[in-house]
Structure 1
Amino acid sequence: MDRAFYYWKTDGYSISNQENQILKDHDVKKLYIKFFEVDYTEAMGNFPISKTQISVPSYPSENSMINCEIIPAIYIKNIVFKKSAEKDLDKLADNINFLISKFTKEKFNDITISEIQIDCDWTASTKDKYFYFLKKLKPLAQKEISCTLRLYPYKYPDKMGVPPVDKVTLMCYNLINPLENDSKNSILDLDELKSYLNTDKKYPLHMDVALPLYSWMQIYQNNQFTGVLYDGNELKKYLKPTKPLWYEVTKDTTIDYKNYLRVGDKIKYEEITASKIDQAIAMIKKNVKLDKEITVTLFHLDENQLKNYTDAEINHFYSDFTK
């Protein structure tokens, strides 16, 4: 079993010494780094956004920041496939392959890349175009192509199709639209997870597993959703619980110099505890037919979020899959 992390920060972030230490301490073999996203507008067509700023000039060496395999991950918004004709997708495959090569050269000292992961929440109506794009990318990249697999297409492959890739990563989180159900944890709800996993069929591709190690706070002001806080630790002392998952702000306070919260503002705090992950792992092992050798990827490498777990707990999230 290979241990992996996602690294999903963009715009000026770089891996800290603490984050690098986490990789070493847990013998992490793979780091899936979001290189960029692809979005669409009528004016510009398909274009890349949210590019990573991370660079690892001394890779690979004894003193290098990162001593694990780097795998480019590209998030493509579903609108790209809604709006693109096949000729646009030919060009998109070409452009993505070109940009990955450029980033690898400029930011990662031209390391050898053996896999590219495409992340997309495709739908039944976009699957044909998405699969067409994946087929085009493979001969251009001449690498192993993997893609993320949400729980709905995992359970309903007849309806959603099976992507033409070498392997998939089952995303065991973000099961519910965050703004649609105010009584459930949208990151990971165990009942919801179980309902998708109860299928007798083995998925026809090699399947790896990804789990969430992050929490967030949704902010509601005047009962309107106004944003998300990823690091709300300093806010906790000003919150009083009102019902499961929900809190009220008890003191006017400023967070991150940009979020001003007033008394009475409501917070939905969706937290992922170690015990919740343990229960999810037990459920996955019981219900999903996994190959002997898999990669387990934790989302994501962020020292502030990972402070919520001990080293022993993080270690278990990996090792429990081999028991």
Structure 2
Amino acid sequence: MKKIIFFLPFLFLIFSCEHKVEKVEKAFYYWKSDGYPSDKEKQILVNQNIQKIYVKFFEVDYSDAMGNFPISKTNFSLNSYCDEGKESPYQIIPTVYIKNIVFQKSSEKDLDKLADNVNFLINKYTNEKLDSLKVSEIQIDCDWTASTKDNYFYFLKKLKPISQKEISATLRLYPYKYPDKMGVPPVDKVTLMCYNLINPLADQSKNSILDLKELESYLNTGKKYPLHMDVALPVYSWMQIYQNNQFTSVLYNVNDIKKHLKQIKPLWYEVQKDTVIDYKTYLRVGDKIKYEEITADKINKAIALIKKNIKFDKEITVMLFHLDENQLKNYTDEEISHFYSDFNK
């Protein structure tokens, strides 16, 4: 009996170490379509020893008049991040967000053309903005559904040989939990997006960016996903504005107007002073605001849930969404560092 008692902890130790993350590559998403990196943003990359930047090169939308077309093209350039003539310290991963309507409306012939056009634009931007930096990976971001799965997967299969690059795809929590229904994308690896769990306008009592109970309900599958999985976490907050009880817009730069708000219930505030935000946004006394804040404590709790439930490979990339000085001022350098390092503790 003593031998059995001794052996059980040994088995537990082997099992617990089997899926321990040993190395974390640190990454940020860069999702801005205009503007250039600030000195503070550059310093954050240096301070955190960031290795990868997932840059949204453009988005793809659809209209009956134009078919599939690119929008929201980035101003990102390598010269903005490193001294001219010096080798980039970062691996840049072109990322393309494709709206689900594209796959609702496209034939296989359209998707063949889309794969060619996406690859062409990525190469064009790489030559123009990245000084022909060698790119080894492309990430495709899409909220695909069961009805668009076949078209989306067809596109991914076409893009791989055309680009001759590693293809990764974002993975929302619903297709993560239900791979039998939603399919497993034909890519080299996926990035689990641990945020935007709820329709922002669907539930007024929950934080739609990150609700911990909602997150846990999707994670506890008991199965290892069949592809290599990286993970993305939110480092942003926003305010949803309601005027005359109707949703009107979203504010991302929230720090300057907190002083004009009075909390009326969890997540909800009321404007106490008429405030001009910009040329198109004006807050009036009595307007209601749902403030969805992502604190360091909430991110840490999310990481604990993710580690408890997901079986990772030994080496993973952890991405933070996204590189924005106004959002990142809500976290200390030490807190940001722990968002990465906690995965291999």
Q: Contact conserved, 2:239 with 2:289, CA < 8 A, in 1? A: yes
Query: Is 1:149–2:186 an aligned residue pair?
Result: no
Q: Contact conserved, 1:2 with 1:30, CA < 8 A, in 2? A: yes
* Comparing 207-216 and 258-267, the one that deviates more: 258-267
- CA-atom RMSD, angstroms? 1.3
Alignment partner for residue 160 of structure 1, among 158, 165, 182?
Answer: 182
Alignment partner for residue 212 of structure 1, among 231, 234, 237?
Answer: 234
Q: Contact conserved, 1:58 with 1:64, CA < 8 A, in 2? A: no
User: Residue 16 of structure 1: CA displacement?
Assistant: 1.5
Q: How far apart, CA to CA, are the structure 2 residues paired with 1:311 and 1:152?
A: 32
Task: Give the letter for the 1:99 counterpart.
Answer: L
Q: Which has the higher contact order (CA 8 A, sep 6+)?
A: 2
Query: Is 1:5–2:28 an aligned residue pair?
Result: yes
Matches for 1:1-323 after TM superposition, within 5 Å: 1-10=24-33, 12-57=34-79, 67-323=89-345
Q: How far apart, CA to CA, are the structure 1 residues paired with 2:330 and 2:249?
A: 22
Task: Give the letter for the 1:319 counterpart.
Answer: S
Task: Give the letter for the 1:81 counterpart.
Answer: F
Distance 1:108 1:267, change over 3 A: same
Distance 1:7 1:133, change over 3 A: same
Alignment gaps of 5+ in structure 2: 1-23
Q: How far apart, CA to CA, are the structure 1 residues paired with 2:272 and 2:141?
A: 39
Q: How far apart, CA to CA, are the structure 1 residues paired with 2:307 and 2:88?
A: 30
User: Residue 232 of structure 1: CA displacement?
Assistant: 1.4
Q: How far apart, CA to CA, are the structure 2 residues paired with 1:59 and 1:215?
A: 25
Bigger CA radius of gyration: 2
| Aligned residue pairs, count | 322
Q: Contact conserved, 2:36 with 2:80, CA < 8 A, in 1? A: no
Q: For 1:118-150, what per-residue CA distance to the aligned partner results, in whole angstroms no more than 9, with x for missing partners?
A: 000000000000000000000000000000000
The list of structure 1 runs, each at least 4 consecutive aligned residues, that deviate by more than 2 angstroms after superposition, is 57-67
Q: For 1:214-235, what per-residue CA distance to the aligned partner results, in whole angstroms no more than 9, with x for missing partners?
A: 0000000001100000001111
Q: How far apart, CA to CA, are the structure 2 residues paired with 1:178 and 1:146?
A: 27
Q: How far apart, CA to CA, are the structure 2 residues paired with 1:189 and 1:173?
A: 8
Q: Contact conserved, 1:194 with 1:283, CA < 8 A, in 2? A: yes
Task: Give the letter for the 1:158 counterpart.
Answer: D
Q: Contact conserved, 2:26 with 2:318, CA < 8 A, in 1? A: yes
Alignment gaps of 5+ in structure 1: none
Q: How far apart, CA to CA, are the structure 1 residues paired with 2:195 and 2:86?
A: 32
Q: Equivalent pairs: percent with the same residue?
A: 75
Q: Contact conserved, 2:37 with 2:80, CA < 8 A, in 1? A: no
